Amino acid sequence: MNRLKLLWKFMKGNRLIYIGAVLSIGLATFASIINPLVLKVSIDSVIGDKALKAPSIVMNSINKIGGIDFLENNLWISAIVLVILTMIQGIFLYFKGKWSAQAAESIAKNIRESVYDHLQHQPYDYHVKSETGDLIQRCTSDVDTIRRFLAIQFVEIGRAIFMISFVAIIMFSLNVKMALISMAVVPIIFAFSVIFFLKVKKAFKLSDESEAEMSTVLQENLSGVRVVRAFSKEKFEIDKFEEKNENYRYLTYKLIRLLAGYWALSDLLCLIQIGSVLILGVYWATTGAITLGTLVVFTSYEGMLLWPVRQLGRILTDLGKSLVSLERIGEILDEPREEIESNELTPEIKGNIKFENVSFSYENDNKTLDNISFEVNKGETIAIMGQTGSGKSSLVHLLARLYEYNSGSIKIDGIELKNIQKKWIRKHVGIVLQEPFLFSRSIKDNISLAKLEAKEAEIIESARVAAIHNVIEDFERGYDTKVGEKGVTLSGGQKQRIAIARTLINNSPILIFDDSLSAVDTETDLAIRKALEKRKSGVTTFIISHRVSTIAGADKIIVLENGKIVQSGNHEELIKRKGLYKRVWTIQNSLETEMDKIV
């Protein structure tokens, strides 16, 4: 029920058009129902000699033009009325099709926009954990299932209701016995449709989910195709895809088999119904129990009645599918949005940072960061070193409020971080992530992403500091060079440097390099740091790196182990003490000496 409410919400702005479509189908149905009645009157009372029984408005109209005798001499009038009714039916069916399609397209657009907007407001962790292929499936295929239902089937509910009620009223007013026989199968098909609806809903859910799994494999494979090639794991990947593909085929086949079974059985019931009306109707017509006109009316109505009743199965089937799709879309929309523009504080950020007994864990009890305390002043550089998984990235993620710390306090310029607006803090904390992602746009657009209004000179300046300007200039199209998805046309180091330029353009007072200098060689690393040094005045910088030469010049160095600070100090102090820093420094130092000997 909640999901139907959601659909109603999405229909906002299109409800009137939709009601117009339902009314049109009602009028078209009405015209199609009147048609056999005109035929009956023509057969029984105009050509035949039965006295005409009709509502006074019809009787008056016939009398005005000269009575039944006049109609008998001018049979073409009946033919014209039939043609006009058919035309009315056609016109309203056209409007029904037009309006329902128009509304459905617009509603689908609303859904896509809502879901996309909602996804943009999901927290960082949501996207870390979600499967992209599954999300794409929900935003495309599931939305399309709803669109098709709204464009084709939903208005048919209106037709079915109109048709069954109109036809039932007329049938019972003409002949109760015949009406009962004509409608005998309706409740059976209806009950059958409802059972079927529940089964289809289940089968479609499985098929839709398996399609999502297949999309995830496909999306992951295409994103990681270079890893696949590098390890020549094509066969493994093909087998994995084939398994998902086969599962999807099997589940969809089961769904189609179910649908085929329903159609066959409901067709059989309908044919039995039509057959019994014909046999009994002809028998009663020959014995004089009913008129020939009544038989014509009943056989025409039988076809009209059974069509929407059978259609009810299809409507319910598609409703089942749409409910599954709505549920999957609703699951996204149920996720709480991350409020980044709250009424929290938006103070001037200078860059004095103080961690006091900060602890943090991801959903489980294991502490990823345990009792972290340190202080860094505006303009200082702090380096973080530690084994993989020791919590370095987690620590800097806290600074950008990508995650919230569980206990302790982080103060920026004396203000508790949790009280500073997320959008504001993210604007002032420039972070170069460990895995840079470039969009398939031009290099210029990629760099200016963090500051859309950036002037060309600013873009070039950032690129210069990131030591990538000369490389870009060498490209044929310079800054307009299009970067392939994930920057495939660029080397790892080039991508990394563009990502650095993108972060620098914002002139943030706090900069974080999350192992982002690792993809560039030592010389470029040094060049970037020197350029940064020259440019930055008062920028507080966090550098995460395993390379001692990168972090040796930092004002402070902290060494993490299992989420705890095990060492801190500057380079000179740390190389004098036993510990991870000294060990890494010794190894890297001796390697460099060896290299120097070779060169």
Q: Does 362 bind ligand ATP (CB under 6 A)?
A: yes
Candidates 99-107, 384-392, 479-487, 502-510: pick the segment binding ligand ATP (CB under 6 A).
384-392
Task: Count the Cβ atoms, other than its own, within 10 Å of residue 149.
Answer: 23
Q: What is the per-residue DSSP string for 403-416?
A: S--SEEEEEETTEE
What ranges make up the beta strands (E) of 320-368? 353-360
Candidates 186-194, 316-324, 387-395, 492-500: pick the segment binding ligand ATP (CB under 6 A).
387-395
Q: Does 394 bind ligand ATP (CB under 6 A)?
A: yes
Identified binder of ligand ATP from the candidate list 123, 293, 386, 493, rule CB under 6 A: 386
Q: CA separation (Å) from 484 to 79, 221, 481, 514, 552?
A: 67, 16, 9, 23, 36
Burial class (CB in 10 A: 0-12, 13-18, 19+), 471: middle
Q: Please check whether residue 449 is in contact with residue 432, taking contact to mean a CB–CB distance below 8 angstroms.
A: no
Q: Does 537 bind ligand ATP (CB under 6 A)?
A: no
Q: Closer to ligand ATP at the Cβ: 467 or 512? A: 512
Burial class (CB in 10 A: 0-12, 13-18, 19+), 330: middle
Q: Please check whether residue 335 is in contact with residue 135, taking contact to mean a CB–CB distance below 8 angstroms.
A: no
Candidates 11-19, 75-83, 301-309, 392-400: pick the segment binding ligand ATP (CB under 6 A).
392-400
Q: Which residues pair with 386 in a beta bridge?
A: 560
Residues 6+ apart with CB under 8 A from 482: 440, 441, 442, 489
Candidates 71-79, 182-190, 388-396, 414-422: pick the segment binding ligand ATP (CB under 6 A).
388-396
Residues 6+ apart with CB under 8 A from 409: 354, 355, 356, 357, 358, 416
Q: Does 493 bind ligand ATP (CB under 6 A)?
A: no
CA distance 162 to 368: 63
Q: Closer to ligand ATP at the Cβ: 389 or 538? A: 389
Q: Does 541 bind ligand ATP (CB under 6 A)?
A: no
Q: Closer to ligand ATP at the Cβ: 392 or 469? A: 392
Candidates 135-143, 381-389, 410-418, 586-594: pick the segment binding ligand ATP (CB under 6 A).
381-389
In angstroms, what is the minimal distance from the CB of 388 to ligand ATP? 3
Q: Closer to ligand ATP at the Cβ: 363 or 476? A: 363
Pattern 69-108, ligand ATP, x by CB under 6 A: ----------------------------------------
Q: Does 14 bind ligand ATP (CB under 6 A)?
A: no
Query: Could you tell me which of 581, 588, 585 has the C-alpha nearest to residue 565?
Result: 581
Identified binder of ligand ATP from the candidate list 391, 430, 436, 487, rule CB under 6 A: 391
In angstroms, what is the minimal distance from the CB of 379 to ligand ATP? 25
Task: Count the Cβ atoms, other than its own, within 10 Å of residue 294.
Answer: 21
CA distance 28 to 515: 68
Q: What is the 3-state secondary structure (H, E, C) of 505-546?
A: CCCCCEEEEECCCCCCCHHHHHHHHHHHHHHCCCCEEEEECC
Pattern 116-145, ligand ATP, x by CB under 6 A: ---------x--x-----------------
Q: Closer to ligand ATP at the Cβ: 170 or 500? A: 500
Q: Binding to ligand ATP (CB under 6 A): which residues in 428-467?
A: 434
CA distance 167 to 161: 10
Q: In terms of residues, how long is the chain?
A: 599
Q: Does 388 bind ligand ATP (CB under 6 A)?
A: yes
In angstroms, what is the minimal distance from the CB of 350 to ligand ATP? 26
- Whether the CA torsion 251, 256, 260, 266 is positive or negative: it is positive
Q: Does 392 bind ligand ATP (CB under 6 A)?
A: yes
Strand 369-376 and strand 556-561: the pairing is: unpaired
Q: Closer to ligand ATP at the Cβ: 67 or 389? A: 389
Q: Closer to ligand ATP at the Cβ: 72 or 125? A: 125
Candidates 144-152, 385-393, 489-497, 528-536: pick the segment binding ligand ATP (CB under 6 A).
385-393
Q: Does 567 bind ligand ATP (CB under 6 A)?
A: no
- The residues that touch ligand ATP, with contacts defined as CB under 6 A, are 125, 128, 362, 368, 386, 388-394, 434
